Every structure is written in structure tokens, then in C-alpha cells.
Structure 1
Amino acid sequence: AYPMPASGTDSPYLVKGDSWDALFDRLDAKLSALGARSGGVRLAPGFAAAAKESLGRYDAYAKAGRDADFDRGAQLYDVQWHKLFSAAREGSPHGANPYPNITMHPFADEGPYYAFILAAGALDTNGGPRINHHAQVLSANGEPIPGLYGAGNCIAAPTRNAYYGAGGTIGPALTFGYIAANHALGKSV
């Protein structure tokens, strides 16, 4: 609820800066510290200038109520999603958004500002038994085990190491559940 840290306590993933420049410096320092695990990814030399330009453009859109870059808040689902997942926390010192687009609010003129590093990852539920195209669980020698089917997060991901996004395991789970049921009933799909 409400995209701000719930308290002032530091989290290992949270990066804080009293100004934009301080935040960007700390982000780059965090990336440097993670270098051995990230392949040495760092902020580009022009990152701070580009980020400030983007922040200024975003603030102008938030004040005007129209996002010309991404159309945030233009669709009903944007607004409904926002009401469900980004409503102000009870007791929050931050009141309701007075700007015309409830999905956007300009950044504060002064820090502190917060960020975290978001990076690509792999599906965390890709272990488990392998299945074939009929959703039959395969034995160690690759042969189907009669009467044993699998679908969802209890099997090795049919998408291998890919995760297509939020809810990305639901589609393959439903698909292979459907395939399994039909195969068990002797129907071809």
C-alpha cells in the first residue's frame, strides 16, 4: 500500500539518498558492490542527467494528468489496479492524491528519495519432474509413468528458465492441466 517505505528502517535492498544526485551515487556504489554477481553492471556516465530529464517530464505529466509517454491511468484497469494496490496506508501522513490522474503524483521537491535495483531473474519454480507433451510425468529414463500427470509449479517449468511476467505460471498450468485431463480420458487435444 502506497509506494513509500513503511518505516525509516533500512532494508538491504533499499537505497536512500537525500538528493537525486546522492541517490544516483549510492545506486552506482551498490552496483559496484554487487559487481562480482552482476557481471560488473554500472550506471551509464549520463545516467543522472537522463534520469533528471525523465523525472522532470514525469512530474509535468503528473501535474497535467496525462502521461504522453506511457498513458498511465488512461485505462480503467490502471485506475482500478491503483485503487486496489496503491491506496494510501491507514494512518499515512500522505493524503489522497490531489492531482488529476490518481496513478501519477509528482516527486517531492526535496529528498529523501528511495530506490532499489530491479534486475532480470529466472523462474524460481523450474525444478521438479519433467513432463512430455501429454503432461505425463517422465521417469528417469525419459519414459512416461502410466497414470501420472503433472502441471503447474509442481513440475519442471515447460517454459524452461523463462518467466513471462506476473501470473506467468498460470497459463502453462491451466494448459497442461487441460492436456493431462484430456489424455487421461483418452481424448486427443
Structure 2
Amino acid sequence: MNPDGTTPDTRVLESLMQAYGLLRYDIGLAGQSEAQTLAGLGIEPEPVRQTAENTPFTVIETASGDRIGFIRFPSLPQGKDIPPQRLIENISRQIRQERASVRLIVALSDWGWVGEREYLAQKPGFVPDILLGSGRGSGVNGRIEANGRCLWVRPYDKGQTVSQIQVQSWPERTASFKWSEPGTIMPTTIGLGDQYDDNPDVSAILQ
């Protein structure tokens, strides 16, 4: 789970899980190796952090009553950087089935920059409206890919930024639809400088 492939100290992982719980995320993804490591150490992640195998699709309803669908991408096979074609086809099939019931589909991935870039470059017939990537590789501020149908965002490895995505209008389910920036969608990277106070409860855990 460290960049060099080693496992962090158990106390560090326990503290991280407590801190994540205090942040009150609505949705989370546990990659296969992450889930196996935590289970092996007897550490329970916060409830929203689920694997694609256990909870492939989650719907969250906004205060205005709009339904947002979140699809968790299964982790890539061990030692593979490129998603197999069958996996891409399965994801496309799932998106096709689910998108009629929600206003927006957001994908969560731990494939890394290479795997996600290759996936989007293939321009599958059905892609998520937004892909929130993670794993090895550089950050992405917000790049419109797959013939304009998917906004790709990745965090930066220093962890000192937050990605904000403003959806100005819901995507249309037509063949001609394309995101436009800033017309229909506007991604922003916010640097966490000294103007933002630390959460004291989280800071106490991570000391």
C-alpha cells in the first residue's frame, strides 16, 4: 500500500481509517489489495469504503431529489496496468443498464494513470460521465475524454489539493452529447494552503 509496495505500520492504518471516518465521505472505493491488507490486519474501513466485488453500484440522492449513480471499477489483475477488453465490456454493459435510472454516473477507479488513460483512449460505447481515478501516476485537473463524454479527474500524490467539479447541467443521453468547459461542467483544483484550518479531531488522530 506504500508506493514501494510495502505495508504501512498497523497503527498508521488504524489512524487513517479513524480519520477518514471523521471526514464523513458519502462514497468510497476499496481496491482489492487494500481490502485484503486491511482484512488481514483485522482493520475495519469506514462503511462507505466498499470494494467493487461487494458493492459495484451505489446511488446517492441529492437534497433536490436527483439520483447520482456511483460505479466502482474492479481492480486490475495483479501485475497488469491495462484493463482487459472483457472488463471494459462488462463496465460498458453495467453503465448502459444503470444510466437510465440516474441523472449522472460517476466512476471510482484505482487503475492508475496508465490504465485509466488506456481505457478512455479506447472510447467505449458507454462510459461514466465523470471518472474519479486514483492509483499510480500523475494527477489530472479535469480532462474531457472519450469523444467529450467523460470528465477525467485524478488527485495529486502530495495530497494537498481537493478536486471540485461543478456540474452546470445534467448530461443528455443522446449520441451527440459532449461536455463543454465551463458551459456544462467546470472542474477546479483547490490547493490546501494556510488559509484552511486543520480539522482538530483529525489532527489529534494523526499526531
TM-score computed with the length of structure 1 as normaliser: 0.23
Q: Looking at CA atoms only, which structure, 1 or 2, has the larger radius of gyration? A: 1
Say which structure is richer in strand: 2
